[in-house]
Structure 1
């Protein structure tokens, strides 16, 4: 059974109506990424950071998986599929994908600000100032902020190295270190990039200039493994 590895990014979730980090809009436009998504911003104003991520969590709850998510989930009936996503939403899982690695964390979980192993599923809840872990420290979103290490990066690199086929969808491959994962693929591994933009360049890759919803089902239909 072929191992298909998928690197997914914000573009696949955008088609479900989820704004990218820089497109959240509204009152958040007045703040920088360093205010909302960095350890320094958390230190300065944890209430602001919690409100921002509570908003994003609500948006994720209201969004629904799209045709690209469901097509990738259905692919598991024929092949071994591992999805490595830069997205913090749970749309891949809700579509039915069973093997998802989140590089940048998961918006639907909270964790202790002093113990990364202490995780809580948020379900329909928000994180409030004063929500404490067993060590008596504030709970925070289970996401990787700018300036923090990406704990799943090494595991993701090992997974990419085992790919028989690599699909990149919904990401312009401009954000490092995640963008460097394509370089971990074996020299003979076929790579396909599905992205409607013109700025994605991967040496030796097949480029499909379509959105995720249009390109992923088309790519799957053309697979010959």
Structure 2
């Protein structure tokens, strides 16, 4: 968008020079029209960026809260033996395993125990959301006051450095790190923006 605006401005400048040299008012009017078009494109680009930022913030706030406790309670109720199974177990000899014990032995291994935690995700374009960077308190105090630019992706909770490998070909929204944190975004564990920005700030200081 900015490249198109630059071309329009250069064309308008060239036509203005031609109008002054040739004393032709037509070139001047065309130059004015190109300047107006460039201004409209800048306004449209500004509005588009504001709308994208608001959508990203709204999507982050609207994410539903998970309720693992309720799901665990429902699973526990489903696994309780019925009255018929309890009566059947009471009639069996002492050495024979009960129905409830057999159900426990045959229960599948909890697959969630094999899944990596959020901080262990590699975060490539094919894999899931990258984990959250564990920011040191000293770095957090520095980053909270910085206006350095980071990028966010619509409907994703992390903010990243511009060269983060997880971004791949995703559409990004430039934003200051202070504003990103104020909106509730968290740092990416893959490109660790908080650590890099804090270190760069200390080096300048």
Q: TM-score range by the shorter chain?
A: under 0.3
TM-score between both structures, scaled by the size of structure 2: 0.24
Q: Write 1 or 2 for the structure with the bigger share of helix.
A: 2
Higher relative CO (CA 8 A, sep ≥ 6), structure 1 or 2? 1
Q: Write 1 or 2 for the structure with the bigger share of strand.
A: 1
